Each structure stands twice: as C-alpha cells, then as structure tokens.
Amino acid sequence: MKRGLLVAALAAVVLVVPAASAAHAPRVKLAVVSLPKSALGTVGRSLALSRDSGVVDNGDAANNSVAAKPTTFDRLGRITGYALTYGDRYSGGSGVTEISTGVDEYKTSADARRGLAFWRNDDPKITVLEPYGLAVTAKALKAASVGKRRFAEGVTFTVPNAAPLAHVDEQFTDGRYVLHVDVAAGSLSAAAGVAAKLARALEHRLRLAETGHLRGKPVKLVPALKAGPPVGGPDLATLALTRPDFGGQATILDQGYGTPSRLSLSEYVRDMQPAGNFAVLSQIIDWFPQANNATVLSRLEGTAMAYVFTAGFLTGTRGQFTPVDLSAVGDNAYGGIVSVAHTGLPTVYLVVFTLASGQAMDVVLASSNSQIQAADVVNLAQAVANRLNAGLAG
C-alpha cells in the first residue's frame, strides 16, 4: 500500500533489521511526529502556531468528540496524544485557515484499530446539532492511500452572518498509532487536497521516527494567556448583567476573569443566585481576535449546550429543547428552553442562549423550578444585549 521510492526504501530497511534490534526499536516521540510549520508547505506559511497545541490527553480527546464519555478512550486503550495546530479556523478566510496534525498512541495495534473505528463513527455525529440550530452537513470522502486502515470525513457549517466554514478530517492507523490531519478552509475542495498531501507527509514522518531517523526538537509551544481584560479591548465586566437589570432582585455569587479558553483572548464570568425570577444565572463573556470568531463560536456554543442538556449528559435525564425566536433582539442571538423532568421530582427549566457583537461572545445559562415562558427568554436576552452594546459603545 506504500507509495514512492523513499517509503519503499524505508520499508526494506525495516525488513532487514535483525530480530534483536527490532525488539529495541527507538521510542517514538510524539511531540516531534506532528508536522512543524516547515513541513506544511506554502499553504501554511502565513499560519501562526495556535495555543490549541500540545499534549492531548484522554479527557481532551473526549471533549473533542461528539459522543465520547470521560472513560471512553481509557477503555479503548489510548495512552496519550500530541498535536500541532496552526492558524484559526474561525477567522473567516476563504482559503486554508487552519491545519492540525497529530498522533495518538495506543497500547496495541488492535486498540489503535478500535480507536480509528470510534472516530470514523463519531465524525458524522456532528449532525446531531442540526435540530438545535446549526446548519451542518457531513460526508465521507476518499482518503489518501496511507496507513493500514483509514477514513476521511468532510464537514461544512453555515452560520448566519459569518463566513462559510468547512474542514476535512483524515485519520489512519500505523501499528499502535492513529495519525490525523484536520484542515479547515472556506470550502471542502480547498481543504481536501491539502489534507491528503499532509497525511502522506505525516505518515513519512512517523516512519522516520520508528526507524530512529527523525531528527529535530519539539516545536516550542505558545504560552497560555493569563486571566485579565483583553489587550486593547474593553473591561468585559462592563458588558455583564448587574443587579439593577433585575430590579435589584439579584445576588452576585461569584465574578471575575478566568483563564481564557483555548480559542479566546479573554474570558469573564459572573454568577448570580438568585437573578430576578431565575434561581441561578451564569454569564460567560469571551473576547476573540475577530468578529467572525465570535459569531461562529456563539452559535456553536449555544447549539452544543442545548444538545448536552437535552441529551442528559450532565443531568442524567433527557430533556426537551424548545427554540425561542430571538431575532428581534439582534446581536446574532439564538437559544431556547430545555425542560428536564426527573422522575418523582419537579421539572427543571433551563434557559440557554448566546449573543455575539463585534469580537464579544455572550453566553447565558439560567434555571428555574417554575415554568419559563418564551417571553421571559426574550426579555432576558434583550437585557443582555442592552448591557453588551452599551459596554462596547463605551
């Protein structure tokens, strides 16, 4: 299945290695297998290393999937992983906006095959978000001829008021390793060719590592951002709801800047208990490099949270999601109500909605033991929008 004279030569070298030497094959250093910027070619020349790079433990892998549970990858025999990501897929560019390559190590080759099978089944499941407000399609693509087993999946997102987004995920096995290449662009066609080419480069790099011929040091990672206001941006605390927004009938339980998520530049959280007619309310405000980031991620965040609560991942009981028309609010507002009926207990009602204005994303979660009406959600979203826009206006 291998292509090219160099790969064939490497295969021949492996075949003639004495048995004693094969038993002591060099340990593969995952941090140097992922493709550095110099190996991405001209398409990656302008892409900067992302903070979303480095070790990918089993918890991170589960968070990157649709259906994995916290213990899924432990059970599959996955040990750890490492990935390098360049660019920003949510920036809104029409060409290639992000390239991510990585390698996952499993205990055995059989475990690696099971890991690949999990991802092959998981990738198309992103379409479960469609009923919650995200226009998304997924389709199988022809994979590059690399590895023992392989697949390629293409996914496209359509978010109102944002640039089109597509990405191609190519994965394949080599012994007890699963290698993966993810390329994001403005279209599937722009991403597919690049993904296939880099998959071949990644396989070649693993072969070099396995035979002890891969030279080089791990890429120096971008340090994590510290908690605090965004450089050159507003104090996000001024964008958050206050007690007067609830007629004084609210108590701030906790507030402050936290460590930014891997994609944002700054994050501020304010928790209230109570907040007017709501028993608990949490507001998370993120500041992103560009407005397109905030617009896309607000819709992704809102639909993902609605799905998680409705599927019962956090409550243990499935719920019912009812979207609420927030178009009159503006600011790309989207969300709804999730009702969760626990057996023998009162029904819990959850409000889930997001807004985006400029570089700011505003996420609101609120709960009540009393039934929540659509008008309650609209009024709350309008209060959030008013506070957000006033703060951005200075």
Confidence at 216, pLDDT banded by 50, 70, 90: confident
For 95-119, how does the pLDDT look when each residue is reduced to its tens digit (9 = 90+)? Answer: 999 999 999 999 999 999 999 999 9
Q: Are strands 96-106 and 135-141 parallel, antiparallel or unpaired?
A: unpaired
Q: What is the model's pLDDT at position 388?
A: 96
Contact yes or no for 327/256 (Cβ under 8 A): no
Angle 143-187-146 from CA coordinates, rounded to 5°? 15
pLDDT of residue 320: 93
* Three-state DSSP class for residue 357: strand
Whole-prediction pTM value?
A: 0.88
**1-5, 111-115, 158-162, 384-388: segment of lowest average pLDDT:** 1-5
Q: Indicate whether 303 pLDDT > 70.
A: yes
Please determine whether the domains at 19-210 and 236-393 fall in the same fold group of CATH: yes
CATH architecture designation of domain 236-393: 3-Layer(aba) Sandwich (3.40)
Distance (Å, whole) CA 180 – CA 279 = 44
Lowest mean pLDDT among 159-173, 284-298, 336-350: 336-350
CA 383 to chain centre: 29
Within its chain, how far is the Cα of 103 from the centroid? 17
Q: Where are the domains of the chain?
A: 19-210, 236-393
Per-residue pLDDT at 108: 97
Region 180-186 average pLDDT: 97
- Tell whether the model's pLDDT for residue 288 goes beyond 50: yes
Please give the pLDDT value at position 26: 60
Per-residue pLDDT at 359 exceeds 70: yes
The burial of 122, by beta-carbon neighbours within 10 Å (0-12 exposed, 13-18 middle, 19 or more buried), is given as: middle
Q: Cβ distance 199 to 179 under 8 Å? A: yes
The verdict on domain 19-210 having CATH code 3.40.50.2000 is no
pLDDT tens digits, 308-328: 989 887 777 888 999 999 999
Question: Residue 137's pLDDT band (boundaries 50, 70, 90)?
Answer: very high
Q: Is the pLDDT of residue 92 over 70?
A: yes
